[in-house]
A and B are shown apart, each in its own frame.
Chain A
Amino acid sequence: MFETIILLLDATLRVSTPLLLLALAGLFSERSGVVNIALEGKLLAAAFAAAATAFATDSVWLGMLAGMATGVMMSLIHGFASITHRGDQIVSGTAINMLAAGLTITLGRYWFEMGGQTPALSGNQRFQAITLPLAEMLENVPVIGALYSKLLSGHTLLVYLAFAMVPLSWWILQRTRFGLRLRAVGENPHSVDTAGISVTWLRYRALIIAGILAGIAGAYLSTGHAAGFVPNMSAGKGFIALAALIFGKWRPVPVMLGCLLFGFLDALAVRLQGVELPVVGEVPVQAIEVLPYVLTVLLLAGFIGKAVGPKAVGQPYVKSR
């Protein structure tokens, strides 16, 4: 039993990682006042770019760079429409999601002629699992050994990076000048503007950070977790991340907990497919799959706590008022 739980949690960490990176991406952009329903598209595009580049250059690092660059590019399109030209943030986000879904397959098919997939990646083209120091030595220590060497050790670098991003994001938001301004611009952009700070540039920077994080998430998906890109491999993760962002009320640590919860549900759902449980019988996997969405709706409805986003989120900034 203990073993099973450890393994489930182990899978949870792997599955939560892209959610976490994405949710933090969403956190930066939404705290700056830009709704980010484009996370899904950014993830997908970055995953494709990372896998394609890793394959072409035989370097997972170049792949990740390409993923980040793609995430940033998507963010810049997002910003160009919704910051510079004050377009609707939801509409531009939807456009980016569609663009990513179409373009990845179109280009993938053209380049690799494999129905939109990239070739399978191996060796240097992928992030390999890292064994933490002492993991092998501690393996047989009861409880702690399993926790350390089975659960914490043996993930790819990006998993650790994603979790390290949580305190870092918190620190940036709460302890730095940039963070203060970022939070302010999402609450009351007029206050930022009258303080002589450019609302536009601040929001662009937030979106660029979001692009970088979404890019890493994409790289993780196609070169860390999986070994190559398959069409639509984002499979709604962008929206689950959005749900986790709301669930965590736009704060890094609760957002992480949200991602872990949703990741856990996913890991659980995978393992429960077609399995008869004692007492309850076979739980429809769909019922577990929808839990993140249902929980988020309940939260939004104020039935479990209350989620109130940054005040200025979703509104293009116009000077006069």
Chain B
Amino acid sequence: MNNNKLPAWINVLLLPLLNLLMAFAVSALVFIAVDVNPVEAASLMIQGALGYQEGVGYTLYYATNFIFTGLAVAVAFSAGLFNIGGEGQAYIGGLGTGLMCLALDASMPFWVIFPVSMLGGMLFGALWALIPAYLQAYRGSHVVITTIMFNFIASSLMVYLMVNVLKPDGEMSAVSRLIGENARLPMMDEILGWFGIAFDPSPLNFSFFIALAALVMVWLLLWHTRWGYAIRALGANPTAASYGGINPKRLTVIVMLISGGLAGLLGMNEVAGYSHQLRLDFVAGYGFTGIAVALIGRGHPIGILFASLLFGVLFQGGNELSFEYPNVDREMVEVVQALVVLFSGALSLMLVKPVEKIYLAITAAKADKLKAQEA
């Protein structure tokens, strides 16, 4: 994606923004097509997502999920692996978190359950990535296809477990029992309350801080450790990496484990943080949104943070919108999301050449002017 002839600010800021704008422009057309005034809708979405405390809470709560899944995609991608299985890894990771909570809430205090459930989530998520990773590294099957398959396997496995194992007797919906208070993460309004700050209740919870910590950890890992060096070398040039003493197979497995572990953290937000029980489909496509987030964020933690916030706004604002407009539903947001993936991901190269031409023309004109002035 990078173009040597263009300065960094164009590559890193302008081009992604232009891609995003195009996605939004096409989205506006879809809004018009269903009789919704896009300007009105946009302002309603922003208002609903950022205009009041609870809305902000929801926005950040969604963003928390996207940070986890976005990082999962980005870490794998920096090693040249397209982990499209964030959905399944997050699902199984959430199962891990939930199982730990359900197992320990009767006997253990929060300070034991918290780390154990977090590790449980990461471990389960990582394990779900292990088989595709192993197959990619040692048996040459492509990780994209196997992770897709594993998403479906995860979903069937969860249905089985939820319906046949975890559902309490007499419960009709496929949900587990609620986890105990001592297994739940503090909600943001509680946390801020400790510091005397009033904040409206919302699903935003302590996981948000876990997500921020994950961003920092991934940034440190990738750019400030020898392991990150190895990961990026593997992604950029596998031959050179293996010449440099990096074992590509082992590293592939390790990177996928990290990736799966990050996706697995989603359970902290969804299970231990918000719904306090295991439910069917709590991942709700966040794993796929992670792809969009990683693409827009260009695989960099700062970019991922902003992209997650953007999608948080879209999701929360979209809910708000569906509340106001009978014609609009969450699917509308999915359309916007799809267009963002299309323009920022698949069509990311489309604008490079034109922008380059314009930029070179402008600089050339400037140079001419300078010359003319000198003369």
Contact = CB atoms under 8 A, between A and B. Distances in A.
Would A and B touch once assembled, by the CB under 8 A criterion?
yes
Interface string B329-347: 1011111111101100111
A11 B288 CA distance: 33
A101 B346 contact: no
B153 interface: yes
A102 interface: yes
A98 B338 contact: yes
Interface string A70-100: 0000000100111001111011101111110
B349 interface: yes
A236 B139 contact: no
B6 interface: no
A293 interface: yes
Given A87-B348, A92-B346, A98-B338, A284 B164 contact: yes
A106 B329 contact: yes
Contact of A300 (B141, B327, B333, B335): B141
Contacts of B331: 101-103, 105-106, 109, 116
Given A101-B331, A106-B30, A290 B341 contact: no
Q: How large is the interface on A (under 10, 10 to 19, 20 to 34, 35 or more residues)?
A: 35 or more
B153 A91 contact: no
A99 B159 CA distance: 26
A96 B335 CA distance: 10
A88 B144 CA distance: 12
B141 A301 contact: yes
A150 to B, nearest CB: 31
Contact of A92 (B30, B35, B149, B345): B345
A106 B335 contact: yes
A284 B132 CA distance: 24
Interface in B329-375: 329, 331-339, 341-342, 345-350
Nearest to B337: A98
Contacts of A90: 82, 84, 144
Nearest to A86: B349
A302 B142 CA distance: 12
Interface of B: 30, 33-35, 82, 84, 131-132, 135, 139-142, 144-146, 148-150, 152-153, 156-157, 159-160, 164, 288, 291, 295, 327-329, 331-339, 341-342, 345-350
Interface of A: 35, 37, 77, 80-82, 85-88, 90-92, 94-99, 101-103, 105-107, 109-110, 116, 236, 239, 242-243, 246, 284, 286-287, 289-290, 293-294, 296-297, 300-302, 307
